[in-house]
Amino acid sequence: MKKLIVLLSVLSVLSALGAETPIRRPLDLPSGGMRQTGQDDDEIPEIIQFYGHHYEADAFLFVIDRSGSMSTGNKWGTLLEEMVTAIQGLSSEAELGIVAFSTPIVPWNPQMVVSGPNARALAITFLSELQPMGATCISLGVNAGLQVLRSSSKEIDSRRLILIGDGGQFCSGNNDPEMVVAEIVTGNWDMHRIDTIFLGDYPSGIELFAAIAQENGGQMRIVQ
């Protein structure tokens, strides 16, 4: 009889606990769903918003046109706004690099930089001190950017070079589009992805930026 009383008491306690503990259903999962087994934080790429499009990577190298033509309209002001938004959207796990091209080529830093709060502030200050001037040396700018991007600690597949500009190449007599593409392809011997964003409607520039992206595994977008 005592054993029966003890057993009934245990069952009563277990029943009470079960009533107090809600059954967890899929709708109770944290936002974003369940993480897959073995999925670490560093396997989730950074996502930035840039000129109305999302870009994913762990290391971003921006090659930006600061030639004289960028001073027309509001192209330069918009570029700075887009850059600031993208930089501020990075976490401290990402890497950042910037190269401004005209004459001369001006890198923010010779190596990729971990994008902590101080680095992001310094990058924005660097951008604010630039002014559009000079010729359009696209191939020199991209190859300088690739050199910086090679210093990244991230896997090559997690790196991204984004080229932004508004014209064709006009740089010390080297204005042949096919030569520009060939110089970039040769310089990109380790096959980093290069995406391009063309600002405006200049046909020769659009064709050049499309060819650069196509030959380097990237995508080209036109922003009017």
Task: Indicate whether 65 pLDDT > 50.
Answer: yes
Question: Considering the chain, what is the average pLDDT of its residues?
Answer: 86
In this structure, the strands spanning 194-199 and 159-165 are parallel
pTM over cut 0.95? no
pLDDT band of 43, cuts 50, 70, 90: low
Q: Annotate 96-106 with b (16+ C-beta within 10 A) or e (fewer).
A: bbbbbbbbebb
What pLDDT band is residue 13 in, cutting at 50, 70 and 90? very low
- What is the structure's pLDDT at 29? 32
Task: Please compute the mean of the pLDDT values over residues 57-63 and round it to a whole number.
Answer: 98
Cα torsion angle, 56, 57, 58, 61, sign: negative
Looking at the predicted structure, is the pLDDT value of residue 203 above 60?
yes
**Residue 202 pLDDT:** 95
pLDDT > 90? residue 31: no
Q: Determine the Cα–Cα distance for residues 28 and 31; give it in Å rounded to an integer.
A: 9
